[in-house]
Structure 1
Amino acid sequence: MRICMLLDAAYPTDIRVAKEARALVDDGHTVFILSRAVDDRPQREEVDGSVVVRRQLANSEVNRGLGGVVRGLVDLVTDVRRVWVDEAGSLVELEGIDAIHVHDLPLANTGLAIGDEYDIPVVLDLHENWPEAVRQYRAGHSPRNFLNPRYVASRLTTPIVRLKRIERQAVRRADRVIAVVPEGRDHYIYDCGADASDVFVVSNVVDLDTFDGEADPVPGYEDQFVVSYVGTLGGGHRGLDTVIRAVPHVVDDVPSLRIVIVGDGSDYKRELERLTADLGLENVVEFTGRVPFDDVPKYVAASDVCLVPHRDNGHTATTIPHKLFQYMAVRKPVIVTNVAPLGRVVDETESGLVVPAGDVVAMADAIQRLSDDPALCDRLGENGREAVETKYNWAVESEHLLDMYRDLERETAPSAQEVASSP
């Protein structure tokens, strides 16, 4: 099939999108990725076999002047971004696109409008429970954001109740829906009313061909017991404040303890830095900031234990981060919270310890237990590596995506009677 992906971001930046595009190309499909323009990248180029088409598509770029304001209002009311419809429509006509693959909810109705206009199927790839993700991010925003008129307008025009309505309607209309975990699939079926036969799971597992599970550790941590978190610091639902609050309960018994938080974020990172200072833990808790993706395996390799301390909510309960499987690929024991997808995977694979979300004492006890028992750390780490080698890897998981497209291709292929009757 000739597939047009819609990505409301710069590309290549998203691990999930890159993995899916490569898998589809390797299976014989032709993939176009329509994404936002990037200053230093060409408008059209080939990346790992996919054709990336970059255009000025951000609302701030296209909705300028009086005409732009009117266009923006129409887009807002209909939840369909006409500039995306026009650009994707050009690709459909010029390249003979057979299917639209939409990444995440904000472009769902836009993708569905393209599908309706050109009578082609639409795949809705929901990386997360978008309404609940927005709820969590907004909860962590600084009050000073309300001084920004654009932010206020966004809050007023996209309340959570509207986002949930868009989600329900979109998953019912799409030809196929992709969830990240079985818990997410259940949400789209039972909470949103999607047809169970149309909802598939393609998880955020590790690609062992591109992620270096044997990386050399970043230097400087040789004499420390390193407990790390690697990833975006995008909001309080990450649960890292629980980890920092746990440190005073365990640092006297583990004097070599070093908490290393790798990644960046705005408001929540500042909140964590203030908490660290208030508790006098600047010599124990380190914030590295953003690091190149190629350095991520090196920080994981330097760690003794790795963390996914999510709080339990509608967002975290219906998705799972790449980082869990990346940790496992480097043979690191993990501490995760009892959020459904995390607890399910770690319990099944016996790759780490599961603690109640938000429980400071339980987090401290888990760190203490692993510090006291190197043999347990080794066993849990080896279990994790075995799990990603045999099940939780992209070579296995990508077959779910490819099977879905094979099924869609059979469903949309013209019948022999239609072929015979065509001029």
Structure 2
Amino acid sequence: MKILFPYLARWRSANRSRYHQLLSHLCDFGHQIYVLNAPTMAINDISAKDVSGQDDALPSGMTVGELNTPELLRTFWTTPIRRTKLLKKGLVSITSISQIRRFIEKENIDVLLLYNLPQVPLLHLVECRTHFDLADDLVAMMEVEDGFTAKAGGKLLARIVQTHMISKADTVTVASSILEDQIEREVLMLPNGADCEYLDEVDGNRWRSKGLGPTVGFVGAFEYWVDFDLVIQVARKLPGVHFVLVGSGRRYDYVRQQVDLLGLRNVTLTGALPYDQAMSYAAGMDVCILPFNHGPVADGSCPLKLFEYAALRKPIVSTSTQEVMKIGEGWISFADNPEDFAGAIEAFLADSSAASFSAGTGRALVEQRYNWKLLARQFESLLLNGAVTDLEASSARGKILEELES
């Protein structure tokens, strides 16, 4: 099977997305993947820029190229102008139609993988099967990121476009049960996961060797759906605990300013790091956190870092967003204010048995349900056959568990 993935970001950015995981595993299964990048965007978004030191090695069967963007549009794309992100991505999609058509014909592509609303022009202009992956509540994200456009009718238009893409694509996946409940047609709920085998090889001693005492950490995007004000308040309440915040994004400068202003010597900001380095920091943490803001964006999210923390056998403290509560009932500690959040962290640091239970339960859950090999097998079956039955999913799960045990 040959899959073409027009990516409206940079494949070698610091953002190791679900598409990196799913498509890399499909390569391992013998399929061919073609990724076409959008140009680098001049905003503080970890997915919009290549990161220095990111592993350049690609899995066998994967090719990464560039979308051919006209010079005028490339200039517009790289100019930081507020409220133009969706417009830029839409224009890139429109101007790439001819290139994508030719690519599909030349390489005999079987499936065109789409994932974002600005890609709607590509849906009807190709001679192959189309798949739409809904990983986030895109309408809610648009409303938060561009409230002016949303109020001017953009939200209604975005809802219409999303509904159209879901209804017209040959197959559809969603990343969370919250998103699945919003859709009328039959879809495959394909959550995020973790690569246990890879993470088992990650060494956390680089951070532990610094000898800074108990460590609490966050790895991810510094974006509006993360409650960094909560993290800062918790760090102030726990001066004897070191907080490591790994990543970058549009909120990074604000967080850095607050840390400096308050003189928080127990907070370390690493900035954007290659994936292997980010995971080495996570492996050295005693407790990992998911401090999301409440709202439809976070409620409908199936956080990839949740499963990576769990695969690394870390106890987790999270705010009580809907999808995370469904997944983490009974083993994740939930708190929504600075006092309770700090208390949950202290409880894990003080009670090794509670921390071990959370860590062990999370790891077992990832192995059994949220392992990328299993998820990629289900995705493969959907793309090949148009559906994944419960029997197929169970068979795939059994096959993965056998591989893990051998």
Q: TM-score, with normalisation over the residues of structure 2?
A: 0.79
User: Which structure has more RCO (C-alpha within 8 Å, separation ≥ 6)?
Assistant: 2
- Distance in 1 (CA, whole Å) between partners of 2:246 and 2:269 is 6
Give the direction of change, closer, same or farther, for the CA distance of 1:57–1:276 in structure 2 (3 Å limit). Answer: same
CA RMSD of aligned residues (A): 3.2
Residue aligned with 1:210, SS: helix
1:230 aligns with 2:219: yes
Q: Which residue of 2 aligns with 1:10?
A: 10
* Mapped pair 1:246 → 2:229: no
Q: Cα deviations across residues 339-371 of structure 1 (Å, max 9, x unaligned)?
A: 1111122115x2x30123xx2222122122222
1:88 maps to 2:76: no
Does the 8 Å contact 2:215/2:287 carry over to 1? yes
Whether the 8 Å CA contact 2:199–2:312 is kept in 1: the answer is: no
| Contact in 1 for aligned 2:241/2:266 (Cα 8 Å) | yes
Structure 2 partner of 1:290: 272
User: Contact 2:215 / 2:244 at 8 angstroms: preserved in 1?
Assistant: yes
Say whether 1:61 aligns with 2:73: yes
Provide, for residues 263-313 of structure 1, a one-character-per-residue CA deviation record: whole Å limited to 9, x for no partner: 1123x22332343345x3421222221222111222112211001111121
- Count of residues paired in the alignment: 362
Counterpart secondary structure, 2:206: coil
Q: CA separation of 1:59/1:177 partners in 2, compared to 1, >3 Å: closer, same or farther?
A: farther
* Correspondent of 1:368 among 323, 337, 346: 346
Q: How far did residue 180 of structure 1 move?
A: 0.9
Flag structure 1 segments of 5+ consecutive residues without an equivalent. 65-71, 140-151, 411-423
Are residues 395 and 157 of structure 1, via their aligned partners in 2, closer, same or farther at CA, if it must alter by over 3 Å?
A: same
Q: Paired residue for 2:24?
A: 22
1:16-415 matched pairs, under 5 angstroms: 16-36=18-38, 47-57=59-69, 61=73, 81-107=93-119, 109-115=120-126, 118=127, 120-138=128-146, 159-187=154-182, 189=183, 194-196=184-186, 199-212=187-200, 214-219=202-207, 220-235=209-224, 237-248=225-236, 250-251=237-238, 255-266=239-250, 268-278=251-261, 280-347=262-329, 350=331, 352-356=332-336, 359-408=337-386
**Contact 2:195 / 2:373 at 8 angstroms: preserved in 1?**
yes
For the residue of structure 2 that corresponds to 1:178, the secondary structure is strand
Mean Cα displacement is larger for which, 52-61 or 290-299? 52-61
CA-CA distance at 1:405 after TM superposition: 1.1
Counterpart CA distance in 1 for 2:74 and 2:235 is 48
Percent identical pairs in the alignment equals 20
Q: Specify the SS of the correspondent of 1:275.
A: helix
Summarize the Cα distance change of 1:339–1:405 in structure 2 as closer, same or farther, 3 Å threshold: same
When residues 247 and 24 of structure 1 are mapped into structure 2, their CA distance, relative to the original with a 3 A threshold, is closer
CA–CA distance in structure 2, aligned partners of residues 60 and 102 of structure 1? 25
Structure 2 unpaired stretches of 5+: 41-48, 51-56, 77-83, 389-406
Aligned residue in 2 for 1:415: none
Task: Write the distance in 1 (CA, Å) between the matches of 2:352 and 2:387.
Answer: 51
Task: Provide the rounded CA distance (Å) in 1 between the counterparts of 2:63 and 2:381.
Answer: 22
**Alpha-carbon offset, residue 329 of structure 1:** 1.4
- Aligned residue in 2 for 1:417: none
Distance in 1 of aligned mates of 2:12 and 2:70: 16
Cα pair distance change 1:338/1:370, threshold 3 Å: same
Between structure 1 and structure 2, the one with the greater Rg is 1
